[in-house]
Protein backbone atom coordinates (compact mmCIF):
# COMPACT_ATOMS: atom_id res chain seq x y z
CA UNK A 1 0.00 0.00 0.00
CA UNK A 2 1.48 3.31 -0.95
CA UNK A 3 1.15 6.35 1.25
CA UNK A 4 2.74 9.72 1.62
CA UNK A 5 6.04 9.99 3.44
CA UNK A 6 4.71 12.47 5.98
CA UNK A 7 2.41 9.76 7.37
CA UNK A 8 5.25 7.38 8.17
CA UNK A 9 6.04 7.10 11.87
CA UNK A 10 9.44 7.70 13.44
CA UNK A 11 11.64 4.65 13.25
CA UNK A 12 9.80 3.09 10.34
CA UNK A 13 11.45 2.17 7.09
CA UNK A 14 9.89 2.75 3.69
CA UNK A 15 10.71 2.59 0.01
CA UNK A 16 10.22 5.48 -2.38
CA UNK A 17 7.59 4.64 -5.04
CA UNK A 18 7.04 7.89 -6.77
CA UNK A 19 7.59 11.61 -6.45
CA UNK A 20 4.74 13.81 -7.39
CA UNK A 21 5.19 16.14 -10.34
CA UNK A 22 6.14 19.56 -9.05
CA UNK A 23 8.85 22.15 -9.32
CA UNK A 24 10.60 20.45 -6.43
CA UNK A 25 10.79 17.01 -8.03
CA UNK A 26 14.27 17.44 -9.49
CA UNK A 27 15.56 18.88 -6.24
CA UNK A 28 14.17 15.96 -4.26
CA UNK A 29 15.73 13.55 -6.72
CA UNK A 30 19.07 15.29 -6.43
CA UNK A 31 18.98 14.66 -2.71
CA UNK A 32 18.87 10.97 -3.49
CA UNK A 33 15.12 10.41 -3.29
CA UNK A 34 14.59 8.24 -6.32
CA UNK A 35 12.30 5.33 -6.97
CA UNK A 36 13.25 2.21 -5.10
CA UNK A 37 15.36 4.06 -2.54
CA UNK A 38 15.02 2.82 1.00
CA UNK A 39 14.72 5.42 3.71
CA UNK A 40 14.08 5.51 7.41
CA UNK A 41 12.21 8.20 9.29
CA UNK A 42 14.44 9.22 12.20
CA UNK A 43 12.71 11.98 14.12
CA UNK A 44 10.59 15.08 13.72
CA UNK A 45 10.91 18.67 14.82
CA UNK A 46 8.35 19.73 17.46
CA UNK A 47 5.00 21.27 16.51
CA UNK A 48 4.70 19.20 13.32
CA UNK A 49 7.81 20.82 11.94
CA UNK A 50 10.22 19.23 9.47
CA UNK A 51 11.04 15.53 9.60
CA UNK A 52 14.51 13.98 9.45
CA UNK A 53 15.04 10.90 7.34
CA UNK A 54 18.00 8.68 6.70
CA UNK A 55 18.64 8.39 2.98
CA UNK A 56 21.34 5.83 2.32
CA UNK A 57 23.43 6.89 5.28
CA UNK A 58 22.98 10.63 5.43
CA UNK A 59 20.33 12.66 7.24
CA UNK A 60 17.97 14.82 5.24
CA UNK A 61 15.32 17.09 6.69
CA UNK A 62 12.15 17.89 4.81
CA UNK A 63 9.21 20.11 5.55
CA UNK A 64 5.86 18.41 5.76
CA UNK A 65 4.86 19.94 2.43
CA UNK A 66 7.91 18.44 0.80
CA UNK A 67 7.36 15.06 2.43
CA UNK A 68 3.79 15.14 1.12
CA UNK A 69 5.16 14.95 -2.42
CA UNK A 70 6.82 11.63 -1.83
CA UNK A 71 4.83 8.42 -2.16
CA UNK A 72 6.34 5.50 -0.30
CA UNK A 73 5.61 1.93 0.55
CA UNK A 74 6.04 0.92 4.16
CA UNK A 75 8.55 -1.81 4.73
CA UNK A 76 7.51 -4.20 7.47
CA UNK A 77 9.83 -4.01 10.44
CA UNK A 78 12.03 -7.03 10.74
CA UNK A 79 11.74 -6.65 14.52
Residues at the interface with other proteins (CB under 8 A): 23-32, 34, 36, 42-50, 52, 54-63, 65-66
How many CA atoms are closer than 13 Å to the CA of 61, on its beta-carbon side? 7
Q: Least distance to other proteins from the beta carbon of 67, Å?
A: 10
Q: Least distance to other proteins from the beta carbon of 65, Å?
A: 7
Q: Are 11 and 74 contacting, i.e. CB atoms less than 8 angstroms apart? A: no
Q: Please say which residue, 1 or 9, places its beta carbon nearer to other proteins.
A: 9
**DSSP element (H, E) containing 73:** strand 70-75
Q: Least distance to other proteins from the beta carbon of 16, Å?
A: 11
Q: CA–CA separation, 17 vs 36, rounded Å? A: 6
Amino acid sequence: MTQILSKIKNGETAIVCQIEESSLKVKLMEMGLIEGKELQVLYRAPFSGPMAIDVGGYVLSLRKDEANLIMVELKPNKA
